[in-house]
């Protein structure tokens, strides 16, 4: 009986280890912002040099993680599918928390992220294959 329990526990550990070590697909989302110079009428986007906002998505879990490296006050984050339909949205006060998480679809396609606030207008895009 001890051998049976030992064998069963070894098999259980083996399968649980393989399940836990399954490769997650984390996609880094590049976030840019519109040129903050109010004297410039160009809406040409540029990259944020200091990485003020960082985002990654776990496509297995459908979890978008957004990290704020500076206080941007209140921001609204909206995720849209390729048709322009809003599929996820939240608001976040970055003076209280430095990160927020959204449940997003895991269906293949292109998704865009818009981040608006008093101190920032930013965008991002990611693809799920």
Amino acid 2: pLDDT:
64
Percent of the chain whose pLDDT exceeds 90: 37
Q: What is the pLDDT of residue 65?
A: 93
Q: Are 85 and 95 in contact (CB under 8 A)?
A: no
Question: What's the predicted TM-score (pTM) here?
Answer: 0.67
Query: Is residue 117 pLDDT above 80, yes or no?
Result: yes
SS (H, E, C) the chain: CHHHHHHHHHHHHHHHHHHHCCCCCEEEEEEEEECCCCCCCCCCEEECCCCCEEEEEECCCCEEEEEECCCCCEEEEEEECCCCCEEEEEEEECCCCCEEEEECCCCCEEEEEEEEECCCEEEEEEEEC
106: nearest Cα among 62, 66, 63, 65: 62
pLDDT score at 3: 65
Instruction: Please tell me the distance from the alpha carbon of residue 105 to that of residue 87, in angstroms, as a whole number.
Output: 7
pLDDT single digits (tens) 35-80: 554 444 444 444 443 478 888 889 889 999 999 988 888 999 999 9
Longest CA–CA separation in the chain, Å: 80
> Average per-residue pLDDT in the chain?
76
pLDDT confidence bin for 86, thresholds 50/70/90: very high
Residue 41: per-residue pLDDT? 42
pLDDT for 59 = 86
């Amino acid at each position: 009986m001890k051998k049976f329990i030992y064998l069963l526990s070894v098999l259980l550990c083996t399968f649980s280890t393989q399940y836990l070590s399954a490769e997650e697909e984390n996609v880094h989302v590049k976030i840019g912002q519109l040129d903050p110079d109010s004297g410039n009428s160009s809406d040409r986007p540029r990259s944020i040099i200091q990485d003020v906002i960082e985002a990654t998505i776990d496509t297995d879990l459908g979890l978008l993680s957004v990290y704020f490296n500076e206080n941007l006050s209140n921001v609204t984050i909206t995720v849209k599918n390729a048709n322009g339909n809003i599929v996820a949205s939240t608001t976040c006060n970055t003076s209280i928390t430095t990160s927020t998480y959204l449940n997003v679809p895991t269906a293949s396609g292109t998704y865009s992220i818009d981040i608006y606030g008093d101190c920032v207008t930013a965008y991002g895009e990611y693809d799920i294959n």
